Amino acid sequence: MDFQLKSLRLAEAAAMSVPALAVLVADGFEPGNDALSALIGRALGSGDFKTDAGALLSSYGAQGVAVDRVVLLGIGDGAAHRVRKAVAAGVAALKGSPTQSLTLCFAQPVDAAAVCAATLAAGDAAYVYRTTKGKRDNPKNGAPRLTEVQIGVPNTALAREAFQRAVGMAAGVELAREWANRPGNHATPTQLGQAAQALAKLPAVRCEVLGPRDIAKLGMGAFQAVAQGSRQEARFIVLRYDGAAKSDAPVVLVGKGITFDTGGISLKPAPEMDEMKFDMSGAASVLGVFRALGELKPALNVVGLIPACENMPDGGAVKPGDVVTSMSGQTIEILNTDAEGRLVLCDALTYAERFKPRAVIDIATLTGACVIALGGVRSGLFATDDTLAQALVAAGEQALDPCWRLPLDEDYAEALKTNFADVANVGGRPGGAITAAKFLQRFASAFPWAHLDIAGTAWKGGSAKGATGRPVGLLLQYLLDQAGPAPGRAPKGGKAAAKSGQGKRKRA
């Protein structure tokens, strides 16, 4: 997808010869003397169009307007979440058409957050999965037709930085969605490692992929236990983005990479088991973040860790009641083999200590209990550090990728006690998302730590089945908020401040 930011007012938009034009109209619109203003005024006056967020009206052959097809989109008060809703509706209306290029024009001045929301919403709505579909060039099989989006604003200087962030973020979200959407036989641990290695072509990104022997040498007994029931070899992926001085402590992101989860010996029910291809959405989000970091080049250091394997029930699989030794030396009684995500994550958290991180954030489709608690609106957040938690919550709100903090009271750890090991891997149904977090907390005492349970937000089911790319937006916003000034770039308002004019960015 090509994104362009250009200076564009309604009079100029009316004279443009473009395939499709969508005009975003906020409350309080005051018509000018141009043809588009006249069209909007007539539509509002007739009552056929309202500025409520998501309201839509299509027009063909409007007098004085060069483009044949114009879509009017209401954005309410112009807040970012209302702009997102409007653009999603507009792109959806055009998705079945042969339109390859869309111009989104704001009818009134808007803030940078609205421009960011419009860019992200356009990329999100235009995405179509096609990796395993036949006849890729056939639009009936899902081949995308929309390949270019222009964002028109009255003043580009005020929106350029937000636009550039949004383009990088959109690239990361798309990559995360793509890998999470792939079926298990097209997203094996080996293939996930290859996807990570491909990211090493980006500026300042390095990648190392460890195999079963390396994992065994590290003493990752919990990770090995999950992987031992599959014919697919496990991979431990280490990504590094070096955007700051070596002395700067990195932020470490740990993504759960269960490329398919049958539940192991504690086998899941058959209905909807296919959705367990999404169980590596945490890993996919880490890949997406690094894709965006390579584009945006912020001044900070980031490490990405992905323990990748399948959870399968063959004759060599770990059994309920087995006791394994984690990399930390703590022993774990595996009471339920379907609580495997915390087993691979705990060894990755121990591995993270070697980087002396400023913070560690793990991301996982960890518990159905979190889905019951928060649904698909907010990701669950657990944290041992208030400053880290507050920063993540704020980043989620700004990125329209919200989370909600849940407790870590020590009393919840009582449920994980066992007579046969240092800790059990499950603690029963009550407070299941919290006891899972309490299990992970045992392996995260050496650094400020946060855990994002994305079981309810990483994908949608039903007719809209597919990955959402969350929480790439939240994570990127948090990282960008932590970054210092980029090398060679003056602070905002200095001599190197962005100039107005046309800009173009491309994402894969």
The answer to whether residues 142 and 191 belong to one domain is no
Domain containing 42 — which CATH number? 3.40.220.10
Give the Å distances, CA to CA, from 415 to 67, 410, 420. Answer: 65, 10, 14
Cα separation of 239 and 306, whole Å?
8
Q: How many CA atoms lie within 13 A of 261 on its CB side?
A: 27
Question: Residue 504: inside a domain, yes or no?
Answer: no
Catalytic-labelled residue, pool 342, 378, 438, 442: 342
Q: What is the pLDDT along the chain (508 residues), one digit of tens a residue?
A: 899 999 999 999 999 989 999 999 999 999 889 999 999 999 999 999 999 999 999 998 888 999 988 999 999 999 999 999 999 999 988 877 788 899 999 999 999 999 999 999 999 999 989 899 887 555 555 455 788 999 999 889 889 999 999 999 999 999 999 999 999 999 999 999 999 999 999 999 999 999 999 999 999 999 999 999 999 999 999 999 999 999 999 999 999 999 999 999 999 999 999 999 999 999 999 999 999 999 999 999 999 999 999 999 999 999 999 999 999 999 999 999 999 999 999 999 999 999 999 999 999 999 999 999 999 999 999 999 999 999 999 999 999 999 999 999 999 999 999 999 999 999 999 999 999 999 999 999 999 999 999 999 999 999 999 999 999 999 999 999 999 775 544 444 333 333 333 344 443 3
Catalytic-labelled residue, pool 42, 130, 268, 460: 268
The answer to whether residues 307 and 344 belong to one domain is yes
pLDDT at site 486 = 57
Which of 127, 154, 181 is the last residue in one of the domains? 154
Question: Residue 502: inside a domain, yes or no?
Answer: no
The answer to whether residues 66 and 206 belong to one domain is no
Peptide bond into 471 cis (omega under 30): yes
- What is the layout of strands, in order, in the sheet containing 148-153? 56-60, 69-74, 21-25, 101-106, 148-153, 2-7, 503-506
Span between the terminal Cα atoms of the chain, in Å: 6
The answer to whether residues 113 and 233 belong to one domain is no
Question: Residue 257: inside a domain, yes or no?
Answer: yes
Residue 78 contacts residue 107 (beta carbons within 8 Å) = no
Question: Residue 165: inside a domain, yes or no?
Answer: no
Residue 435 contacts residue 428 (beta carbons within 8 Å) = yes
Cβ-Cβ contacts under 8 Å for 157 (sequence gap 6 or more) = 498, 499, 500
Residue recorded with tokens 């059990």 = 424
The answer to whether residues 206 and 140 belong to one domain is no
pTM, rounded to two decimals: 0.93
The answer to whether residues 27 and 86 belong to one domain is yes
The answer to whether residues 117 and 11 belong to one domain is yes
Domain containing 358 — which CATH number? 3.40.630.10
The answer to whether residues 239 and 364 belong to one domain is yes
The answer to whether residues 320 and 462 belong to one domain is yes
| Burial of 339 from C-beta contacts in 10 A (0-12 / 13-18 / 19+) | buried
Question: Residue 31: inside a domain, yes or no?
Answer: yes
Question: Residue 492: inside a domain, yes or no?
Answer: no
Question: Residue 69: inside a domain, yes or no?
Answer: yes
The answer to whether residues 307 and 422 belong to one domain is yes
The answer to whether residues 146 and 190 belong to one domain is no
Residue 197 contacts residue 304 (beta carbons within 8 Å) = no
For residue 148, how many other CB atoms are within 10 A of its CB? Answer: 18
Question: Residue 503: inside a domain, yes or no?
Answer: no
How many Å is the Cα radius of gyration of the chain? 24
The answer to whether residues 22 and 91 belong to one domain is yes
How many structural domains does the chain have?
Answer: 2
Cα separation of 44 and 56, whole Å?
11
Task: Please confirm, yes or no, whether 342 is among the known catalytic residues.
Answer: yes
Which range marks the domain in which residue 68 is found?
2-154
Cα separation of 10 and 105, whole Å?
8
- Structure tokens that stand for 32 in this block: 């000018």
Which of 124, 154, 184 is the last residue in one of the domains? 154
